[in-house]
Structure 1
Amino acid sequence: MSNRRSFLKLSAGLAAGGLAAGLSSTANASECVADIKWHEEVDLLVIGSGFAGQSVAVNANREGLGKVLVLEKMQVIGGNSAINGGWFAVPKNPVQLAQGINDDSPAELVKDQMIAARGMGNEQMLTKIANEALNAYNMCLDAGVKFKKDFNIQVGGHNKARAVRVEHGTGGDIVTKLYEAGVREGVDYRLQYKVEDFIMNGNEIEGVVVRRGYRFPDESTGELINIRANKGVVLATGGFTRNMELRAAVDPSLDPSLDCTNHLGATGEATLTAMAHGALPVHMNMIQTGHWGSPDEGGFGWSNALLSIGWHKGIAVNPTTGTRIMDERADRLTCSTAIMACRHKDGSPAYPLVFFNKNDHLGDARVTRAVRDEMAWEMDSLEQMADKFNVPLAQLKATVKQWNDYVAKSEDPDFNRKMDTAVKLKAPFVVSRVWPKVHYCMGGLKTDIDGRVVNARTMKPIKSLYAAGEVIGGVHGHARLSSCACLEGLAMGFILPKSIKADA
């Protein structure tokens, strides 16, 4: 795994050969850049091929910005976006309007996001992103992305149903179609190209040093080449949740034993490289956990899909007490905190149980798949559930009875949960265990609201260096709401090309 130390070591070696020009003074940098041997020249270089990278590339090409090249260090397109759950927040989407929800707006979405941000969100930037939601949604439709028919629901932390979902429940539905659109329209994509360093001319990025033919995670593979970018470099490289050394450095309180939903290449080298060249990092310690994680499957998994039922139709119970633990429809930070408070006396995790009525979801692929893969179980009674998971039976029965009373009255005095999707619980049940997984970095590089990366010394943009998606820090504050990563990445594809065009 690459980290800042190995990067600096590499930079020292490159500097000896005249490549790491950005580490020199401005005068020396100009002189070194003039001597650089450029192996290739493009107009716009996009690093990363997830939602943000794909959207920026396609829209930059449509804006007539010239030759657009997308580099991906892994062996497949898509990064974390390809394995995400495919949820997409779109105020005023057609399904929402057909459902009779006419009082939503981008401003309403931003209001929810700012509540979740707990005073630390960037309202101006969130507004700019939310205003591009419909454009991003229509871009997906035009590219051939299929969304679940008549599907639009309210997800955690949102006050309205505004989340659509792709047909197969994975972000790969979006990145593959945008990739195909980009190929048809002339965007150039390269796999196994790992960026090793930036080539700077003072406060301006001229190009990048790339390891061509890189085979993750072997740092000895490939050959170094220099690619010049005449109009700019866009960082769309995602977060750093798989960089354990960096995670521990910025948030020592984060349990290192937690599983992670992200792909193995989410290690943040490009973020560290930008920081070494003066980019300002913000909110690096704000690392989000996904409260829908299952301890019974690795990585992102299918628990996200199953819990889209559980949070709405069921309840979450502490197995050591048999009592509910939270508003099951709250935001991720609230839910993760409540879940991780469930412990045995020795401090080990007491995985909360989430259960709902089996007969209400017969034949649902989310259920059959989860049961097949043994990350959920079908239980014929509360007695069977209590016996399997060692839950106090009397209290479990009392909790279910109390819950059913709350449903009848349409109120939850314990956690003030919104009850419009709540149903009375009756056997048989589908039961799963939950435990959060490290999921998303709210921290990253500071940009202006148009995506220009900010220099830490001057607090002004680094010329020709841009960022999009998760690599940007300070947007969501303490908690990003579900379905908003897809929105942010795709929407930035409409914002950045305009910035680049104006600057060029």
Structure 2
Amino acid sequence: MQDRRNFLKLGAGAALGGLASTMPGTVMASECGEIKWNESADVIVVGSGFAGLSAALNVKRSGVGSVLVLEKMQVFGGNSAINGGWLAIPKNPTQLAQGVNDDSPEELVKDQIISGRGMQNEDMLRQIANRALDAYDLCIETGVKFRKDFNIQVGGHNKARAIRTQHGTGGDITTKLYEAGVKEGIDYRLQHYIEDFIMDGQEIIGLKVRQNYRFPDLKTGKSIYIKANRAVVLANGGFARNMELRAAVDPSLDPTLDGTNALGATGEVTLTAMAHGALPVHMNLIQTGHWGSPDEGGFGWSNALLSIGWHEGVSVSVLNGKRYMNERADRKTCSEAIMKNRYQDGSPAYPVVFFNHKDHPDDDRVVRALRDDMAWKVDSFEQLAEKFNIPLTQLKQTVKEFNAQVSTRQDPLFGRKMDTAVELKPPFVVSRIWPKVHYCMGGLKTDIGARVIDGRSMKPIKKLYAVGEVTGGVHGEARLSSTSCLECLTMGIVVSETIKSDV
């Protein structure tokens, strides 16, 4: 099959200059005459995390035709498969069973407005919150299991509305969405790298794809052309692992910070979309996860362990043995407070978080952390102080003051909500913390229906859509915990409705 179309003359490499020459995925788009399409699909989804899998399944169920999912890595799931499996759902069944009856989608949006610090897209957040139960139903219907009776209040939220998957990992969701898609006829392919978009003016008509690609070697595989009859949905995630791009958009971000993302989170599809006119927003807003541990690489177990520590325990500076923040504040607030803990030479003075071991001796979060040496059991204040070089007298005074605050349920120092705090007595479970680069707030501008906006015309690029972390401007300056999975799953539903209405 042949169809005469032209690439845009300005390719990604030309648009981004010298930066592109060292970045994966920023290829020069050459002018092309006749294109011999190797194959076609009605809808092509790029990426296989929460957003891509949700979009693919919901698009398939909408009846608009065949769906092809392209994943550049050797496994499906991306960052979603390795995340903590948290999902913020107002009015979820466990929340209601706990007697939390005063929550609502609007309450969630209120929390996100505070966290977004005036930079958020309220209409988008409201749409996502209003579809939260749809996302929950999608999970349940496809076989996802959540922890029995587990629903807690996480940082920056004013209500307990965060549920968690059975095994504490996003893989519990990605696996079930993938399995459902296979049964319903979705075509999933690994090791398919997007080299360029094939455009006809302001309309995307297909993709140039490197088949049998082996990350990160761009010389592997071969190029093929896949025609998109009705839509291309970008769900390729963020760019937190692209160190050069990180430095370019936010020079203030500490380049030594570890990251929680999978190695494939390099953002090349985002850059290619930008080169073809897609409008980027908030690219300099890169969020760190304040629950990172310097004693394990990548995402790790620290996030799960600190779901206990932030609520029941306390965080103190090793420099002076004092508390230094509201342990239950949002990610940005906590990360900034943590990273102020430095020695005179500027090196990190890793603060510690600790809570009572006797309250959780058999909890899998504790057992795993102790097993993997990213947390330790200490039997006394003296052992705690000696192991982490903390001033003993002040450490004891800090805990004494904290225990008094537990009794009164008031924190005059930092305004922490104390409803879940407990009186601290050794032995303790102790871990060190230091933020890790976690989430890109910025990406491609879309309208509320997930249509990608062309910065030259401020109108949608025809047949091009984007969902999940690849989009920008949704959460504003900081994203609340457990809302990324919610956004990805709900926008996968929304984009399927948009595509059907646009066809």
TM-score (structure 2 length as normaliser): 0.95
Once the two structures are superposed, residues 290-332 of structure 1 have per-residue CA deviations (whole angstroms, 9 ceiling, x without a partner) of 0000000000000001000000010010000100011101000
Residues 31-110 of structure 1: pairs in structure 2 closer than 5 A: 32=33, 35-110=34-109
Residues 225-264 of structure 1: pairs in structure 2 closer than 5 A: 225-264=224-263
- What's the secondary structure of 1:465's corresponding residue? strand
**Residue 4 of structure 2 aligns with which residue?**
none
C-alpha contact 2:25 2:195 (8 A) present in aligned 1: no
**Residue 404 of structure 2 aligns with which residue?**
405
Which AA in structure 2 matches 1:260? G
**Residue 4 of structure 1 aligns with which residue?**
20
Note the C-alpha offset of 1:7: 7.0
Once the two structures are superposed, residues 217-257 of structure 1 have per-residue CA deviations (whole angstroms, 9 ceiling, x without a partner) of 11100000000111110000000000000000000000000
| 1:15 and 2:27 matched | no
Note the C-alpha offset of 1:4: 2.8
- Aligned-partner Cα distance in 2 for 1:15–1:422: 61
**Residue 21 of structure 1 aligns with which residue?**
none
Note the C-alpha offset of 1:502: 1.1
Note the C-alpha offset of 1:403: 0.2
Residues 288-327 of structure 1: pairs in structure 2 closer than 5 A: 288-327=287-326
C-alpha contact 1:45 1:232 (8 A) present in aligned 2: yes
C-alpha contact 2:20 2:26 (8 A) present in aligned 1: no
Residues 156-305 of structure 1: pairs in structure 2 closer than 5 A: 156-305=155-304
- What's the secondary structure of 2:384's corresponding residue? helix
C-alpha contact 2:25 2:272 (8 A) present in aligned 1: no
- Aligned-partner Cα distance in 2 for 1:342–1:482: 23
**Residue 461 of structure 1 aligns with which residue?**
460
C-alpha contact 1:7 1:273 (8 A) present in aligned 2: no
**Residue 470 of structure 2 aligns with which residue?**
471
From the two aligned structures, give the one with the greater helix fraction. Answer: 1
Once the two structures are superposed, residues 75-106 of structure 1 have per-residue CA deviations (whole angstroms, 9 ceiling, x without a partner) of 00000000000000000000000001111111
- Aligned-partner Cα distance in 2 for 1:308–1:10: 39
Which AA in structure 1 matches 2:424? L
- What's the secondary structure of 2:179's corresponding residue? helix
- Aligned-partner Cα distance in 2 for 1:5–1:458: 28
CA RMSD of aligned residues (A): 1.2
Which AA in structure 1 matches 2:141? D
- Aligned-partner Cα distance in 2 for 1:315–1:8: 42
**Structure 1 gap segments, 5+ residues each:** 19-31
C-alpha contact 1:7 1:196 (8 A) present in aligned 2: no
- Aligned-partner Cα distance in 2 for 1:385–1:350: 15
**Residue 29 of structure 1 aligns with which residue?**
none
- Aligned-partner Cα distance in 2 for 1:141–1:103: 23
Which AA in structure 1 matches 2:294? P
Which AA in structure 2 matches 1:15? S
Which AA in structure 1 matches 2:358? N
**Residue 441 of structure 1 aligns with which residue?**
440
Runs of 4+ in 1 over 6 A off after TM superposition: 7-10
C-alpha contact 2:95 2:161 (8 A) present in aligned 1: yes
- Aligned-partner Cα distance in 2 for 1:441–1:9: 18
Note the C-alpha offset of 1:204: 0.3
Which AA in structure 2 matches 1:396? L
Which AA in structure 2 matches 1:235? L
- What's the secondary structure of 1:49's corresponding residue? coil
Which AA in structure 2 matches 1:349? P
Note the C-alpha offset of 1:11: 4.4
- Aligned-partner Cα distance in 2 for 1:8–1:179: 27
Which AA in structure 1 matches 2:328? R
Q: 1:161 to 1:49 in 2, by over 3 A?
A: same
Note the C-alpha offset of 1:9: 9.7
Which AA in structure 1 matches 2:30? A
Q: 1:421 to 1:296 in 2, by over 3 A?
A: same
- Aligned-partner Cα distance in 2 for 1:6–1:348: 30
Which AA in structure 1 matches 2:20? R
- Aligned-partner Cα distance in 1 for 2:111–2:25: 44
Residues 350-365 of structure 1: pairs in structure 2 closer than 5 A: 350-365=349-364
**Residue 336 of structure 1 aligns with which residue?**
335
C-alpha contact 1:404 1:424 (8 A) present in aligned 2: yes
Report sequence identity in percent. 69
Which AA in structure 2 matches 1:412? D
- Aligned-partner Cα distance in 2 for 1:347–1:273: 38
- Aligned-partner Cα distance in 2 for 1:8–1:392: 48
Note the C-alpha offset of 1:5: 3.0
- Aligned-partner Cα distance in 2 for 1:77–1:236: 13
- What's the secondary structure of 1:500's corresponding residue? helix
C-alpha contact 2:24 2:268 (8 A) present in aligned 1: no
Note the C-alpha offset of 1:362: 1.2
- What's the secondary structure of 2:189's corresponding residue? strand
- Aligned-partner Cα distance in 2 for 1:197–1:410: 57
Residues 123-138 of structure 1: pairs in structure 2 closer than 5 A: 123-138=122-137
- Aligned-partner Cα distance in 2 for 1:10–1:185: 34
C-alpha contact 1:4 1:273 (8 A) present in aligned 2: no
Which AA in structure 1 matches 2:359? D
Which AA in structure 2 matches 1:359? K
Q: 1:7 to 1:288 in 2, by over 3 A?
A: closer
Which AA in structure 2 matches 1:5? S
Count of residues paired in the alignment: 486
- What's the secondary structure of 1:62's corresponding residue? helix
- Aligned-partner Cα distance in 2 for 1:423–1:223: 59
- Aligned-partner Cα distance in 2 for 1:493–1:250: 28
- Aligned-partner Cα distance in 2 for 1:130–1:210: 35
**Structure 2 gap segments, 5+ residues each:** 1-12, 14-18
TM-score (structure 1 length as normaliser): 0.95
| 1:374 and 2:373 matched | yes
- Aligned-partner Cα distance in 2 for 1:326–1:9: 41
